[in-house]
Structure 1
Amino acid sequence: MSQRAFSLPLRTIVTKAVKPQWICRRCLATQQSSSIPSEKYSKGRTSELLSTQLPQKHLPPQVLAHVNAESLPINEQEQWERVEPHKKIVGVVVSHGKMEKTVRVRVAAQRWNERIKKHYRHDINHLVHDPNDSLTTGDVVELHRLKVSKQVEHVVARIISPFGKPVEERPPVPTPEERLAEYKAKRMVKLRRRELRIRAGEGDAEAIQKLKEMGHDPGAGAKPGVGRQDNLQQNVGKSRTPSSGAILGSQGQKLPEGVLPGGKEKVGKTNERAQRNKGKAVKSDAKFQERRREAQEKDQ
């Protein structure tokens, strides 16, 4: 009897075994995406800043308007509840690249014509803050109100419809939480520096040393003779000397020759001043009567 032959596929004989290619660890490290750890770090840093309470009573309402309130402290959550959200603002980018981190966005609007009682299209152009230069001309974007400078009062919230390059290939648009975290980070540094300056003004050697380590002059911004004026007498509307700032004639000061207290009028007899003022009033009244008589004659 013939035994059944054991057959192998032809491809196992023809095809050569592919040897595994050796890749060094340095090349593997360069092939891995380095954005993942930074994203994790930024998210952790953002959540940490959001949960931090700033040593100030109120935050700007525009910064709190679109933030998720669950990650905020209790005091800031109460402020968030009092903020009134604005309506949705959608526009088209009409210009980019001419200003750093700023684009021009056209928002469709209408204007009422009172004469013919009809609405006409009247588009409005806004300068919009683009923190990461993510926008190009033609993008349809959503805006949030945020006063960045004197001329820029809006910030990009998200890209609704990109034009040209996809959204995945562009720098990410910061979320409202990231904007609030950035505001808190800058504010904390400023408040810390202010506290150190106050302590340095009181003579604290440790605060002076910390300011020097930060690269700041402990006495920068201080002016001679300027300080707290809590216990000083308020004299609104009275003239002061440019040197000392005191009122003329107060606290036993010697007045210049021919000057009354306050420094406005010269010393003289009351009767003479009254007669001079009376003469001016009589002349003014005579001119008024003469002009009135001339006007009546012209009308007749």
Structure 2
Amino acid sequence: MERLSFVGVTTGQSAATRLFPAWAKELGLRDVRLVGHDLPIHAPREEYRSLVGRIKTDEHERGALITTHKIDLFEACRDLFDQIDESSLLCGETSCLSKRDGMLCARATDLVSASRSLDEFLPVDHFQKTAGEVLCLGAGGSAIAITLHLLGRTRITVVNRSQGRLDAMRAIHASVNALAEVAYIRNADPLLNDELMGDLPAGSLLINATGMGKDTPGSPVSNAALFPANGIVWEVNYRGELQFLRQALGQRVERGLRVHDGWRYFIHGWATVIEEVFDLHIQEDQLSRLAALSEGERRQLPAGA
């Protein structure tokens, strides 16, 4: 039986582990099973290389979907990839490994799945009609893809714990649009994030791409944080304690917020990787059926919270 690897931190808790058999049947994929591989955040380099080496040499391995470890795995295993597509070279990460003619290929599919997800809830002219800005908390692989899609549309502020990730993101942004207005702030203090949120104009987009609330506990902002009036809030995860999401929902009515979790990002992310790994194209009606099959696993947003 062929295998698709799933590389993360707590893969057994992902809805994908339960949904993949139904997805595979819907898409006509026979004799394929999903295998999870849990690694600690910022795992030792050799752990990444050992895993990727097995995926590369095992004839039953079709490829992998990678969460959380996108940048670290790419940096540790770059020499193991036979092909690296332009998106991975640009972003310095990989969210998808696939095989073509015996070659292991790395691709950053987040550029596709993040843009598809954003476009479902963010109007193209949103920043033309409002004075809103973007505050992106986190500078990992998802944050890179999301901010690239938004680059040049309005002012963006990115906050991250480590300077290295901010410097890498700055270089990526500059290579795409050197004139875009982006501020990069190193910070791990929720109270400073509260201040940055408080300075946002009405209609701003606030993104939690830190992994806090899923891979690590807590939220990047405190319970005293005030979300921007008439703002759009996107928690890019769909599972975990999701404290940031709950904080936003608590102010949804009072502040006129539109709050979105990461469920559609999850669906688009898996669909994009499956397309690449199994060399197929998922039509819009098929995507709708995959989403419908998955709905029973969706965690409902707490009302008002």
TM-score by length of 1: 0.21
Which structure dedicates a bigger proportion of its chain to helix? Answer: 2
Q: Whose relative contact order is higher, 1 or 2, with alpha carbons under 8 Å and at least 6 apart? A: 2
TM-score by length of 2: 0.21
